[in-house]
Structure 1
Amino acid sequence: MSLSLHDAQTLSIGELAGVHPEDLLRLQQEADAELRKAKRLKEWVEGAIALKYDQRVQALRQQLSKETGTVHFDDDGVRVTADLPKKPVWDQRKLAEIAQRIAASGDDPGEFLEITYRVAERKYTAWPESLRKAFEPARTLKTGKPIFRLSTAEEK
């Protein structure tokens, strides 16, 4: 008898780790399929909600002179909250020019701007050893959550 996703939830992680690898593979595939199905369903329902309330939200935003942010209204006993967050995008070259002008005038650009430096890991690993050594004191390597993918031996 094969283990169902429902039954798998009743086991401890240690117990589940002890099941046959083919069962783990099947459970992982079933869980992935259920997640995709749930995401599609959620998008479908959210699409219906957007269709139902979009015009009302736009009218309310216009009435309140509020292009972004959160607005609320009630619909037959249900509180509807619509949020339209701001997502400003800053031109990095232009900000760098502004930072240079601020520094040239004697002020500290850090008082006005959040300045972040990054090094692409692919570029870093392609650099010659001498250049990498100069950057090593500024580099800390952290790792993310480990990911395991199971497949049949034939799929390799």
Structure 2
Amino acid sequence: MTLLERCVGRPASELAAYPPDQLLDLKKQAHDALARAKANAELVDRALDLRYSRIAAVHRVAAGKDAGTVSFNDGVVRIACELPKKVEWDQGKLRRIVERIRAAGDDPTEFVEISYRVSETKYNSWPTPMRASFDPARTLKTGEPNFRLSLTESES
């Protein structure tokens, strides 16, 4: 049984007291186990795609759908196949349409959602006074920390 398997179900506060070399070992084992699980999941997903994508496409056409979910049976198993819809809009063309709507005296927000973004790279290159005028509209959020462990040179 691996160290990781022995730790299953234990509280993180208990693991935090482990020596650094054991934490390193746990991190490596968890990383390897996750990689194996992802590879296995991808293999099964490819097999499902090979087996059911054509059947799902036939059901989708019969239902008059370009995307979305269709369901069918294969023996005693019910298969639900979702094909997500991903729509992309040409920002330049939308900008011109918004300008035409505005020029016609209408409110473009009745038809489109308008959002503003500022490149963080550009923001960081601006002079301080310019950044200061944008600061009230800027909120910095961070994600979850990601720790990388490795042996020091003397331990390698």
TM-score of the superposition, structure 1-length normalised?
0.92
Q: Does 1:129 align with 2:109?
A: no
Q: Distance in 2 between matches of 1:3 and 1:68?
A: 44
Cα displacement string for residues 115-152 of structure 1 (whole angstroms, at most 9, x for unaligned residues): 11111112111111121111111111222212211111
Does the 8 A contact of 1:3 with 1:23 survive in 2?
Answer: no
Matches of 1:124 and 1:51, distance apart in 2: 47
Distance 1:125 1:57, change over 3 A: same
Distance 1:122 1:149 in 2: 26
Instruction: State the match for 1:51 in structure 2.
Output: 50
RMSD: 1.7
Q: Distance in 2 between matches of 1:25 and 1:16?
A: 11
User: What are structure 2's unaligned runs of at least 5 residues?
Assistant: none
What are the residue-to-residue correspondences of 1:5-154 with 2, within 5 Å?
5-154=4-153
**Partner amino acid, structure 2, of 1:85:** P
- The offset of 1:11, in angstroms, is 2.2
* Native 8 Å contact 1:73 1:81 kept in 2: yes
Give SS of 2:150's match: coil
Amino acid at match of 1:81: A
Partner of 1:88: helix, strand, or coil? coil
Q: Which runs of 5+ in 1 are unaligned?
A: none
Cα deviation digits, residues 65-122 of structure 1 (max 9, x gap): 2221111111111100011111111000111111111111121111111111111112
Aligned equivalents of 1:60, 1:14: Cα separation in 2: 51
**Equivalent-residue separation in structure 1 for 2:106 and 2:20 (angstroms):** 63
Query: Aligned partners of 2:71 and 2:8: how far apart in 1?
Result: 38
Of 50-59 and 12-21, deviating more is 50-59
Name the SS for the 2:78 alignment partner.
strand
Helix, strand or coil at the partner of 2:140: coil
**In the superposition, relative to structure 1, how do residues 22 and 3 fare at CA in structure 2: closer, same or farther (>3 Å)?**
farther
AA paired with 1:147?
A: N
Instruction: Give the 4+ runs in structure 1 shifted more than 3 A.
Output: none
- The answer to whether the Cα contact below 8 Å between 1:5 and 1:30 also exists between their aligned partners in 2 is yes
Amino acid corresponding to residue 99 of structure 2 in structure 1: Q
Report percent identity of matched pairs.
47
Aligned residues: 154
